[in-house]
Amino acid sequence: MKSSSENTAPSLNEPRTLVIMAKAPRPGAVKTRLTTSLSTEAVTAFYCCLLEDTLALARSLKLSDVEVAIMCPESDVNELAQLAGNGASVVAQKGEGLAAGLTSVFAHFAKSGRKRVVAFNSDSPHLPASVLESAFEALTGHDVVVGPTHDGGYYLVGAKAAHPTLFDGDGMGTKSALEILLAQARALQLSVGFTDPFYDVDVDDDLSRLAAELRLAPDRAPRTAAWLKKWEETAAKLRMSAGDS
C-alpha cells in the first residue's frame, strides 16, 4: 500500500496514547454472546474483571510518555471514570456503535497528525504488553497498525492521524471486519502494519482458552484468572451432578 504519511518517520519521542474501547459493566450491555451459557449477572462480573485487568495491562507498559485513556458511550463516562480512578482519562465518543467510537478516538487524540494513538478492546488482559508496545513501534513506519483476530476481525487499531472514513462500512463485529478495514485503508492510500494475531473473548470456547492460559500464568490478569477459576470449578460440579442424576 502507498503511504500518505510524510517521508520523515516520526520520532520515538512523540506523544503516544493508548485507548481502551469500553462500556460500563451493566447487566445486558456487555459480552451478550456469553449469556447463552452464563447468567447476565455472571457475564457482567466477568466483564468487570476483564476491564480492570486490561486497565492494569495498559498502565504496565514499559514506555515513557504513554497516556492511557478510555473511549466509551456518553452515558457511561461517570461510571467508568469511577472504575478507572486516577491515571486514565475517560472520553465520550460521538455517535453510537464501535465504528463511531473508533472514529472518535482518532478525531480526539490524533488531531495534530504527529501523535501515535493505539486503541484496543477492553476484554484484552491476555495480550502480552509487548504486543501493545510493538503497535506503537509499527506506527513509526506505517500510517495505520492493525491487530487481527483469528475470526476475521481485529482487536487493535492505531494511527498517527484522524481518517474520518477509515471505519466506514457495516462490518463491525462480523467475520469481514478486518477485510473491510483494509479495503478502506487501501482506498485512502494508507500503509498498514500488523501486530500478532490474537483472539477476542466472545463465546464459551474463548472462555476455556483464556482459562487454560491464565491457569499457567494467573499474574497476567489476576482478577480474570480468579473469576475463571471459580467458573471452572462451578462447571465441573454441575457436570458431576448431571452425571450422578
Would you state the pLDDT for residue 15?
A: 83
Tell me the C-alpha distance between 14 and 135, whole Å: 14
Tell me the C-alpha distance between 91 and 148, whole Å: 25
pLDDT band with cut points at 50, 70 and 90 for residue 101: very high
Beta strands 116-121 and 66-72 are unpaired
Q: What is the mean predicted confidence (pLDDT) over 83-112?
A: 91
Q: What is the mean predicted confidence (pLDDT) over 82-87?
A: 88
| Domains of the chain, each with CATH number or no CATH | 16-200 (3.90.550.10)
Would you state the pLDDT for residue 115?
A: 86
pLDDT of 186 higher than 60: yes
10 Å Cβ neighbour count for 118?
A: 26
Mean pLDDT (the chain) is: 89
pTM, two decimal places: 0.89
Q: What is the mean predicted confidence (pLDDT) over 84-102?
A: 92
pLDDT of 8 higher than 70: no
Phi and psi for 6 in degrees, rounded to 5? -70, 160
Flag the least confident range among 43-52, 178-187, 229-238.
Answer: 229-238
CA contacts within 13 A on the Cβ side of 133: 10
Would you state the pLDDT for residue 234?
A: 83
Beta strands 116-121 and 89-92 are unpaired
10 Å Cβ neighbour count for 93?
A: 23
pLDDT band with cut points at 50, 70 and 90 for residue 222: very high
pLDDT band with cut points at 50, 70 and 90 for residue 3: very low
Q: Give CA separation, 174 vs 50, 154, 177, in Å.
A: 22, 10, 5
C-alpha cell at 117: 494513538
Cβ contact 190:8 at 8 Å: no
Q: What is the mean predicted confidence (pLDDT) over 180-190?
A: 95
Cβ contact 21:122 at 8 Å: yes
Tens digit of pLDDT for each residue in 123-168?
999 999 999 999 999 999 999 999 999 889 999 999 999 999 999 8
Q: Residue 199 is inside which H or E element, if any?
A: none
Would you state the pLDDT for residue 168?
A: 87
Flag the least confident range among 57-66, 88-97, 167-176, 202-211.
Answer: 167-176
pLDDT band with cut points at 50, 70 and 90 for residue 26: very high
Would you state the pLDDT for residue 4?
A: 43
pLDDT of 2 higher than 50: no
